[in-house]
A and B are shown apart, each in its own frame.
Chain A
Amino acid sequence: MAAARRPIAAGAALLALAGCAAPASEAPGAADRPWDEVLAAAEGQTVDLWMYGGDEAGNAYVDDVLAPAAAELGVTLRRVPVADTGDALDRVLAERQAGTTEGDVDLVWVNGENYAAGRQAGAWLCDWALDLPNRQYTDPGDPLLQNDFGVPVEGCESPWHKAQFTLVYDSARVPEPPTTLAGVLDWAQANPGRFTYPAPPDFTGSVFVRQVLTTATGGAGEVPLEYSQEAYDQYAPELFDRLAELAPALWREGSTHPQSQQELDRLFADGEVDMTMTYGPATLIDLVADGTFPDTTRVLTLEEGTFGNASFLAIPSTSGDSAGAQVVADLALSPAQQVAKADPGTWGQFTVLDLDRLDEADRAAFEQLPPSPVVPPYEELSRNAQPELSAEWVAPLDEGWRRSVLAS
C-alpha cells in the first residue's frame, strides 16, 4: 500500500528537516546598543502582544491607553487575545525549533510558569530588560523583580505589575472568617461542602497546594525554595495527608474538583461554595461591579501572608520586531502608564515601581489614586508576603497531588 510507504519516506525527510537537534537552551541576547538606536529601529514596527484575553479591563487598558501611547512613539501595538498564555508559548517554541528569526510573537504577558517553561528552551530574549530607561524607577533589590518562580529574571523579561495570591470570601455567608490558612482548612472541615480548590495543574489550584505546603502543613515556614528530592520526600507526604483528610469536607465530598479557577469562581458566584481564590485580585473589582460576585465579597488577608509575585512582559527570542517590543515594555514601565494601570477604574493592577524613586508629581499621582472598593491596598495585601517556591517544585507537587489526593 502506497499509504504505508509514504510515512517512512516522509519520516526521513522530516528528520532531516527537524535537524535532529533541540534548540539551544541558552537564551540569545539582544544587541547591545544605545537607547536612541533602539527607538530609531522601533520606528514603524508593529508589535504583536500576545496576552490572556479573558480580562476585559486588561484588554481595554491595552487597547485604549497603552496602544495609543505606543503609536505616539511610532510603534503599532497589536493585541492578540489568547485563551491561555500557554498558546503563545506553543507558538514561540515552534518558531524557536524551526529557527525562525522573523517570528509573529513580539511580546508576551507571562506568568512564572510560562517564563520558567520557556527558559528551558531559550525561548525568551535576554540582556535587554535591565537597560530600559524607565527601569530606574524600580528597586534593584526588590526580590519579586529578581526571581520569577525561582528562575532568575536577569534582563530576560520586564516587570509589568505585582500580584498577590489571595483568598476571597463572601462576608454575608462567612461572618467570622479565619485569619490563617490552617484556620481556613479547619473552617472548611467544620462547614462541609462550602469549600474547594481547583485541581492542579490549574495555575491557581497549584498555587493553593503550594501555599498549604509552605504555611499550613509540612514545614510551615521552613520548606526550602530550591527543589530537591529529599525536601519533597520530607514535606510532601504530610501535605497530601492533610489534603486527603480535608477532602470529605469539600464540595461534592472531594470526589472531584473544579478543573479551573473559572469553575471555582462560578461555584462561588452561584453560592455553592463560600470562598474562592485568585492570583490576580484586580479582576475582583469588575466581578463585583457587574454583579457576578455579591457585593459582600471580601478579600481574606492571612496573618502569615501569602505568595506574592510580579508578572512580566517577555520578548520571544524569535521576535522580528524586538526593538519595538522593547520600546513598548519600557513604555509600560513608565510612571504615567503604571499609574493609569493602577487606577481601579482602569485595571487596578499594583505597580512594580518604587514610589520613593519617583519625582514629586508622579508620586502624588499614585497617592491620589482612589481606593478600590474590594481589594485592599498592596501594602496590606502583601504584608508578610512570601517568595514563590522555585519552578521545579511545581510538576512533582502537581503530579503527587493527582496520585495521592485526587486518584485516591
Chain B
Amino acid sequence: MSGGTAGRRWAVLLVLPALVPVAAVVGAALVSAVLLSLGLTPLVGQPRLSLDAWRGAAGDLGTATLLSLGIAAAATVVAAAVGLCLALAATAVVRRSRLLGALAALTIPVPHLVGAAAMGLLLADTGFLPRLLGVSPDAWPPLVGGEWWVAVVAEYAWKESAFVALVVGGVLASRARSYDETAALLGAGRWARFRFVTLPLAAPALGAASAVTFVYTLGSYEVAALLGRPFPEPLPVMAVRLAGSIDLTVRPQAAAVAVTTAVLALAAVLLALRALRRLSAWD
C-alpha cells in the first residue's frame, strides 16, 4: 500500500471531486431541514426559534421510529441472505447459473414504485397469488396493509436482494474463483471452501450492501405508502403526510421527522462502517 506525503496528497486529490459536491448538497439539505424544523424558515408567519415542531411531532415519533427500524431490519436480513445465495449461484465454479445472474439483473432496474405496484398485484387479498392458489380473499392473510407489513418488507427484500447479488457477485466474480479453484486443488471440501474462502471474501461487500439496503429502506417513502397501512406509520410516510398538510404551519413538523430519519440513518451508517472495519479484507 502506498504511504507517505505524496501518496496522501494524491489520495486527497482523488477523493475531493466526489467529496465536495456530496458535502455541499448533504450539508445544505440537512441545515435547511433543521432550520425549518426550528421555525427559522417558515412558509407563513414570522421566523422564530422554537421547538414547537419537535414537540408537535414527538408524540408519534417513537412508534414511527420503531416501525421504520423494524421494517428496514427485516428487509435487510432477507435481502442479504437471498442476495448472497444469488451471488453464490451466479458465480459458482461448478454449474454457474447464468440464468439467475440474468434474472437478478432484470430485477435491479425496476423502480421501487413499480415494484410496489407489482407486489400489490401479486400479494393483495385478490392478487395473482391467491387467485393462482385458489384461496378466497377472506382466507388469504392480510399481507398488503396488514399488521405485519409483509408486502412492504417483501418488496424491499425482493428489490434489494438483487442489489446485494450485484455487489457481492461483482467481487466474487473477479476474485473468488481463482482462490476457490486453488483451495479445491488443495483438497478443501465444499463447506470449508465456503466458510474459509468465499465467505470472508464476500463479507465486506455483503456488509456494505446490507448497510446501503438498511439505510435506503429507512428513508424510502413510496413502498410503505402504497403497501402499508395508515396507522401506525413509518417515519417517511409520517413526514410526507405532514409536509402535504393543508395547513402550511405543520410543515416544520415534517422537517423534524425528516431530520430524525436522517440522524437514525447516519447512526446506522457509522455503526456499519465500524463493523466493517473489523472485517479484515475491508481495511
The answer to whether A and B touch directly, with their CB atoms under 8 angstroms apart, is: yes
B225-269 CB contacts (< 8 Å) to partner A: 225-226, 228-231, 241, 243-250
Whether, in the assembled complex, A387 has its beta carbon less than 8 Å from a beta carbon of chain B, the answer is no
Q: Which residue on A lies nearest to B142, using beta carbons?
A: A252
Beyond A18-B35, A266-B124, A395-B250, whether A6 also contacts B245 by CB under 8 A is: no
Decide if B231 touches A406 in the complex (CB within 8 Å). yes
Inter-chain contacts of B243 with A (CB < 8 A):
90
A395 and B246 within 8 A (CB)? yes
Chain B residues within 8 Å of A20, by CB: 40-41, 47
Q: How far is the CA of A256 from the CA of B227 in the complex (A)?
A: 12
Task: List A contacts of B226 (CB < 8 A).
Answer: 259
Scoring B residues 71 to 82 as 1 if CB is less than 8 Å from chain A, else 0, what string do you get? 000000000000
Instruction: Tell me if B31 and A22 are in contact (CB < 8 A).
Output: no
A86 located at the interface, meaning its Cβ lies under 8 Å from any Cβ of chain B in the complex: yes
Smallest Cβ distance from A269 to chain B, in angstroms? Answer: 9
Residues of A within 8 A of B249 (CB): 120
Q: B230: which A residues are within 8 A, CB to CB?
A: 199, 256-257, 259, 402, 406
Known: A6-B23, A256-B145, A266-B124. A120 touches B44 (CB 8 A): yes
B41 to chain A, nearest CB (A): 5
Pick the contact of A121 from B43, B46, B231 — CB < 8 Å? B43
Q: Which of B136-166 contact A (CB under 8 A)?
A: 137, 142, 145-147
Determine whether B180 belongs to the interface, using a CB cutoff of 8 Å to chain A. no
CB-CB contacts below 8 Å: B1-54 with A: 23, 27-28, 30-32, 34-35, 40-47
CA distance A120 to B248 in the complex (A): 7
Residues of A within 8 A of B47 (CB): 20-22
Distance in Å from the Cβ of A286 to the closest Cβ of chain B? 19
**How far, in angstroms, from A10 to B137 measured CA to CA in the complex?**
55
Residues in A whose Cβ lies below 8 Å from that of B34: 11
**Could you say which residues of chain A place their CB within 8 Å of the CB of B41?**
15, 18, 20, 22, 97
Residues in chain A near residue B142, CB distance under 8 A:
252, 256
Docked pose: A228 CA to B44 CA in angstroms: 21
B65 at the interface (CB under 8 A from A): no
- Give the size category of B's interface with A: 35 or more
Residues A73-116 near B (CB distance < 8 A):
84, 86, 90, 93, 97, 113, 116
CB-CB nearest in chain B for A3: B23
CB neighbours of B225 from chain A (8 A): 259
Considering the chains assembled together, what is the distance between the CA atoms of A117 and B245 in angstroms? 8
Complex CA distance for A321 and B244, rounded to whole angstroms:
26
Q: Which residue of the partner chain B has the closest CB to A112?
A: B246
How far, in angstroms, from A406 to B233 measured CA to CA in the complex?
A: 12
Q: Report A-chain residues with C-beta under 8 Å of the C-beta of B40.
A: 15, 18, 20
Residues in chain B near residue A25, CB distance under 8 A: 44
Within 8 A of B (CB), among A110-151: 113, 116-117, 120-121
Question: What 0/1 pattern do residues 1 to 26 of A give for CB contact below 8 A with B?
Answer: 00100110011001100101111010
Report chain B residues within 8 Å CB of A15: 35, 40-41
Shortest Cβ distance from A98 into chain B, in angstroms? 11
Q: Chain A contact residues (Cβ within 8 angstroms of B): what range?
A: 35 or more
Evaluate whether A256 and B229 lie within 8 angstroms (CB atoms) in the complex, with A14-B35, A21-B46, A93-B43 already known: yes
Contact of A10 with B126 at beta-carbon distance under 8 Å, contacts A113-B246, A199-B230 already known: no
A271 sits at the interface (CB 8 A):
yes
Find out whether the CB atom of A407 lies under 8 angstroms from the CB atom of B231: yes
Known A18-B41, A120-B43: A270·B32 in contact at CB below 8 Å: no
Instruction: Specify which chain B residues have a CB less than 8 angstroms from the CB of A90 in the assembled complex.
Output: 243
The residues of B that contact A294 with a CB separation of less than 8 Å are none
List, in ascending order, chain B residues with CB within 8 A of A84's CB. 244
In angstroms, Cα B46 to Cα A113, docked, is: 23
A272 proximal to B (CB < 8 A): yes
A20 to B46, CA, bound (A): 8
Please report the C-alpha to C-alpha distance between residue A97 and residue B248 in the assembled complex, in whole angstroms.
Answer: 13
The answer on a CB contact under 8 Å between A22 and B32 is no
Within 8 A of B (CB), among A297-330: none
Q: Could you mark each residue 183-226 of chain B with 1 if its beta carbon is under 8 Å from any beta carbon of chain A, else 0?
A: 00000000000000000000000000000000000000000011
| Minimum Cβ distance to chain B for residue A72 (Å) | 37
Q: With the chains together, A402 CA to B245 CA distance in Å?
A: 14
CB distance from B86 to the nearest CB of A (A): 32
Question: Which chain B residue lies CB-closest to A259?
Answer: B230
A97-B43, A117-B246, A395-B245 as given contacts; A10 in contact with B228, CB under 8 Å: no
Contact B248 A121 (CB under 8 A): yes
Please tell me if A53 contacts chain B, counting CB pairs below 8 Å.
no
Evaluate contact between A14 and B32: CB separation under 8 angstroms: yes
Cα distance A116–B246 in the bound complex, in angstroms: 7
Q: Give 18 pairs: A residue, B residue, CB < 8 Å, sorted on A.
A: A14-B28, A15-B41, A18-B35, A18-B40, A20-B41, A20-B47, A22-B44, A93-B43, A117-B245, A117-B247, A120-B43, A120-B248, A199-B230, A201-B246, A256-B231, A259-B145, A259-B226, A270-B126
Q: Which 8 pairs show the lowest CB-CB distances between chains A and B?
A: A199-B230, A270-B126, A256-B229, A395-B247, A18-B41, A86-B244, A11-B31, A406-B231
Besides the contacts A3-B23, A113-B246, A201-B244, what 14 more A-B pairs have beta carbons closer than 8 Å? A14-B35, A20-B41, A22-B43, A93-B43, A120-B43, A255-B147, A256-B142, A256-B145, A270-B125, A270-B126, A271-B126, A272-B126, A395-B245, A395-B250
